[in-house]
Amino acid sequence: MKKLLCLALAALFALPMGALAAEEDVAVSSPATDPAEDLCGYPMEEHFADGPVFGEFAGEVTKVGETSFTIESEEMGELVLRVTAVTNFADDKTRAPLEFDDLKEGDTVKVWTSRAVNASLPPQTNAYGVLVDPEEVSTAYFYECGSIGEENDAGRYTLTDTEPGMELTVTAETEITYALQETMRPGMYYFAWIDGGIAESYPAQAAADDLVVYTRTIVAVEESGSVVVDGDMVLGYPACEVEWTTMLPAIKTAQAAGWTTWYLASEQRVRFVNEEGEEIFRAYAGSEEATVYGERVTMPAAAQMVEGRVYVPASVFSLLGLDVRLNASGIEEEAPDAPDDAEEIVDEPIGEPDGGEDDAQKDELGVSLSAEEVTPTGLKLVCMQVGDGPTGELQTGSWFALQQKDEQGEWVDVPVLLEDVAFTDEAYMIYTNGATEWEVNWEYLYGELPAGEYRIAKKINDFRGTGDYDTYTYYAEFTIG
C-alpha cells in the first residue's frame, strides 16, 4: 500500500510544498469570534466546537480517486478529502487498520480533517483519520500524541493528546495494533476506542480499550531552519528555500530515517535504499526528474548541489512515507553556507601512497572500498562507510594510483604514460553510514590495462579543520581478463 499511495501522490508532487500549504490558508472561523461566518455558503462554525486540532465530518463515500475521495457529508454536503502520506484508515467494527485501497464507494465514514478548508466548490481539505463503517454509537476517537508518560510496575502509562487536552490511560489489558512502526513516540497519530466513557474533567481522562497506532518517522523543520528527524537534529545541514520550495539535505535526512544512501560523485546522483535492499529514490543534481519506487515523477524544484551536498525538495520525503512538518518562517531563502571545515584538499601527484598497506588495514574510519563494472580502461569505485569512527568530515580528491601484482605476489606501481601529472584540487564529500560512488577512467594516464590482478589506491581524509586532518589510504582489488 505504501508504494501505491506514494505513486498515486505523484500528481500532487508536481506542486511545491508552498503551493499545497496555500490551498489550506483559508482558515475556518472560530465560533467564539465569528459564529455567523460561512465558507462558500456552508455553515462551518458548529462542526469545530470540540477543539482546535481536527475538524470532524461524517457521510457516505460517493467517489474514490487516486489521491482523494469525496463524501456527501451530513454537515455540509459534498466534501473532497485529500489523502496524504499521513492519512490513517481504520475499521470501526474490527478495530483494525485499513488502507486507502480498501475504501470504496458506498462506504460510510467518519473523518477527522485539517481545520483549514479550501474555499472551492466543493470544499476540499486534508484527511488525517478515516474511520470506515462506524457503529451507530461509536466509541472511537482520533488523536495526535503530545507526550507519553512513564510506564509503572502494573504496565500503565498515559498518552497525552495535543490541544485541547486528553489524558488517555493505557493498561496491560489495552489491545494495541501497530499499523506501521512497532513503537510509540510523540507526534504519532492513533485511533482509540474508549468503551467506558470519558470523565468530565480538565484535562479529560479515560482508559483505552483498543488502540490502532500509526507511528511514522517525523521530519520537522524548526523556525531556525534546523532539520530534526525523530527528535535528533541533523547538525550542520539546515533547510533552505529554492524557487519557493523547501529543500532538505538528501543524504543526511535519509540516513537519519534509517535508509542506506548511495552517492555517485561523477554523476551527482543520489539513491536511497530501504531495509529490504529495495531502491526507493533516485535523483540527479540539476534535474527535476526523480524516480520514486521505480516510477518517474517530477519534483517541484530541481535537486541542488550546495557546497558538495545534495538537497532535494522536502516533498520527496512525504512521497516516501515520512511525516514532514514544515515551519517556513525560519527557512533560509538562499542556500546555506558551507560549514567552516569544508576546505579544499589539494591532491598529490602519482607516487607511492603514504602510509602503505598497514594504514588501510587499520580501518579506523569504518571505510571499505570495492570495485564494480571493471573494464580495461576504468571502473566504478564504491566507498562504504559504517559506524562512528570519523572524528571530522570524510573527504577525498581526484587522486588515485594503480598497482599490479607481479609473479612474486608483490604489489608494484603500474607505469604511467604521462610524466609530472598533477590532479585537480576538488574535494569530494564521503557520506557516513552509507555508500559513495565514483567513476574512474584511467585511459589517459595508464592506457588500456592487460589481463592481470590489480588494485586501486585512494586517499581519504578525516578532516576536522584547516591543517587538522588525518590521511588514510584504502585499496580495492580487481581483476582484468
pLDDT tens track for 36-59: 233 223 333 333 333 346 888 999
Domains annotated on the chain, with CATH: 2-138 (2.40.50.140), 141-214 (2.40.50.140), 218-330 (3.30.457.10), 356-480 (2.60.40)
pLDDT of residue 237: 81
User: pLDDT of 444-472, one tens digit each?
Assistant: 899 999 999 999 999 998 888 888 888 88
Min mean pLDDT across 102-111, 157-166, 199-208 is at: 157-166
Residue 334 scores a pLDDT above 90: no
Question: Nearest Cα to 269, choosing from 365, 104, 380?
Answer: 380
pLDDT of residue 263: 83
Q: pTM here?
A: 0.59
pLDDT higher at 228 or 38: 228
- Rounded to whole angstroms, how far apart are CA atoms 361 and 473? 9
β-pairing verdict for 468-480 and 452-465: antiparallel
Query: How large is the average pLDDT for residues 127-150?
Result: 92
Residue 358 scores a pLDDT above 60: no
pLDDT of residue 185: 85
User: pLDDT of 406-444, one tens digit each?
Assistant: 988 889 999 988 877 777 777 788 877 778 888 899 998
Q: What percentage of the chain reaches a pLDDT higher than 70? A: 80
User: pLDDT of 255-310, one tens digit each?
Assistant: 888 888 888 777 788 889 888 888 899 999 889 999 898 888 889 899 998 877 88
pLDDT of residue 99: 94
pLDDT of residue 339: 38
Average predicted confidence (pLDDT) for the chain: 78
pLDDT of residue 92: 96
pLDDT of residue 350: 30
Residue 352 scores a pLDDT above 50: no
Query: How large is the average pLDDT for residues 235-261?
Result: 86
Q: What percentage of the chain reaches a pLDDT higher than 90? A: 31
Residue 83 scores a pLDDT above 70: yes
pLDDT of residue 363: 64
**Confidence band, pLDDT 50/70/90 cuts, at residue 351:** very low
Residue 192 scores a pLDDT above 90: yes
**Confidence band, pLDDT 50/70/90 cuts, at residue 106:** very high
